[in-house]
Amino acid sequence: MAAPGALEAAAGSVPGTKVELTVSCRNLLDMDTFSKSDPVVILFVQGTGSSEWKEFGRTEVIDNTLNPDFVRKFVLDYYFEEKQNLRFDVYNVDSKSCSIYKQDFLGQAFVALGEVIGSQRGRLERALTGVPGKRCGTILLLAEELSNCRVSAASARYRSAGQELAGGDSPRPQDIVTMQLCANKLDKKDFFGKSDPFLVFYRSNEDGTFTICHKTEVVKNTLNPVWQPFTIPVRALCNGDYDRTVKIDVYDWDRDGSHDFIGEFATSYRELSRAQSQFTVYEVLNPRKKCKKKKYVNSGTVTLLSFSVESEFTFVDYIRGGTQLNFTVAIDFTASNGLPSQPTSLHYASPYQLSAYALALKAVGEIIQDYDSDKLFPAYGFGAKLPPDGKISHQFPLVRPAARLGEPVVAGCGGGLWGWGAASPATSCPAPRQRPSRPQNNNVDNPSCAGIEGVLESYLQSLRTVQLYGPTNFAPVINQVAGTAAQVTDGSQYHVLLIITDGVISDMMQTKEAIVTASALPMSIIIVGVGPAEFDAMEELDGDEVRVSSRGRYAERDIVQFVPFRDYVDEAGSQVRSMARLAKDVLAEIPEQLLSYMRGRGIEPRRNAAQ
């Protein structure tokens, strides 16, 4: 874990402004024969000084519409001094079983974030292009700066009168609201049945318009629905302004997408929060009916059954609270890498150039070690035969010559580097600055190396003493780290396993089983693929598109991040082109993976740990 001082310094570089982008489209191409398109928007961003586009995020898919208003937002860091290029690609999703890029392309738009922010009232409309000979419609972008729960003038007056929000402490924008609603005696809209009601929540904008922020599920064939409890960030609901209008529309769902409007009502965060102590009942009103019918009363009522606020903590909250990040390294020593003495080998190192493995280890490790307080890295190897008897081991500490009986310990290593698929050594690393009383095999109690330089030193020494062999088994080392992670599950420790491999997995079924088991533990797995191989198996383990499963069990969380190292080196493979981009991509999912574990276990940061 980084020291508190380092965190404070890092905090100074974090941009003070975050911008939320809301996306809508109008008059999209209709690609479906018997219905309308089912659109999704993918946002790509372009790094400073780079021509490459990287996927940032996606909206949800909205069925059967050419004029979607997407609920899912994009939250971006905004830098005034940088040109932040954005690309929005729109697709029609016909099948959820294949890649999004194999779906029907509906058009794209290019825009700079500054253009959106600089537009009148932060609202920009841009034509979609990219389908020859077709008018693709338009994309509408609304940018709104996220506040730190600013208090409106009305809120200030409310507090000056000595009154506070129900529930005590004021929420933060990252806090999460959980609420449940039901309705009674809604209007009947279906000819052969009752109604299929659902709710749509809208947050008011500074210009008086409204932005969709949540939809409930549809409750079929009833005029008295009870919707499931749902959660929504305070930021999405009111942007921290407690008195900002929240409008709720009530609809009757229709299969063809032409949902019937039942009525509406308005409220605010402050009013909703009072439901913590009492039920709140709202009249559902249909303005057209109210104008036409003198005796019109309402179109039913909606009751807020419950409302609660829970803190949504950030990654830094946990780090500052004392959560330790423990990193483990595992290196592939299988024969598919080629003989280390041959220039074609991925393990080959000349006096002038590091091997692909060493380059990847150094590039990634130097980033990772900044987040580890003691800089001691358990390091494993796999895929080799080890002396003296050539026994194959899939999980071993890499051999250090100085760890032999009676020899002093090398200062760079506090234990050993581990490998898989190799024979167990006759000796392994003892504890730092200790001399072993006798030779030891598979010293799993202390496989640690001091710093990335210690890991590199042990890796290079091991190449001279082991024979590359196989097979490539990931499961043993994943299970080893999972066993360590299982010993402390209170949130004070979080483990990250870095696997560097050439990409051919021999124990796919066992690896999936290990990942599913590990997903319930405080750990994440980063896989860096070196070499020219196709990494289809790695993409499958990544789980971004389809959650990893084994024998009918699905992973509780997505804990695997795969990165092909070749995307970050020059044509000769000798230099890392962009350390910043590599750092971002390698560690991109770790914060959210840690948070997902903490949220799932109800673990809050230790507030006094850092004091």
Going from N- to C-terminal start, the domains of the chain cover 17-145, 165-310, 328-355+374-572
What is the pLDDT at residue 259?
92
From first CA to last CA, the distance across the chain in angstroms is 15
Fold annotation for 165-310: Immunoglobulin-like (2.60.40)
Contacts by residues 113-116 (CB-CB < 8 Å, ≥ 24 positions apart): 113/19, 113/76, 113/78, 113/84, 113/86, 113/143, 114/80, 114/83, 114/84, 116/21, 116/141, 116/142, 116/143
CATH topology match: 17-145 vs 165-310: yes
> What global pTM score does this model have?
0.54
Residues of the chain with pLDDT under 70: 1-17, 32-33, 48-49, 80-81, 96-98, 120, 147-174, 190-191, 276, 316, 320, 367, 370-371, 373, 399-445, 544-545, 570-581, 583-584, 607-611
For tokens 């900044």, name the residue: 370
Neighbours of 274 (CB within 10 A): 16
Q: Tell me how many helices (H) and strands (E) the chain has.
A: 14, 29
What is the pLDDT at residue 520?
97
In whole angstroms, what is the distance from residue 307 CA to residue 211 CA? 22
What is the pLDDT at residue 573?
55
Tokens encoding 437: 């009383």
Q: 60-71: per-residue pLDDT in tens?
A: 999 999 999 999
Q: 157-203: per-residue pLDDT in tens?
A: 333 333 444 444 455 656 889 999 999 999 987 667 788 999 999 99
What is the pLDDT at residue 402?
41
* Residue 135 three-state SS: coil
In whole angstroms, what is the distance from residue 124 CA to residue 116 CA? 6
The total number of residues shown for the chain amounts to 611
Helix intervals (H) in 46-152: 113-118
CATH class of 17-145: mainly beta
For tokens 């091991």, name the residue: 462
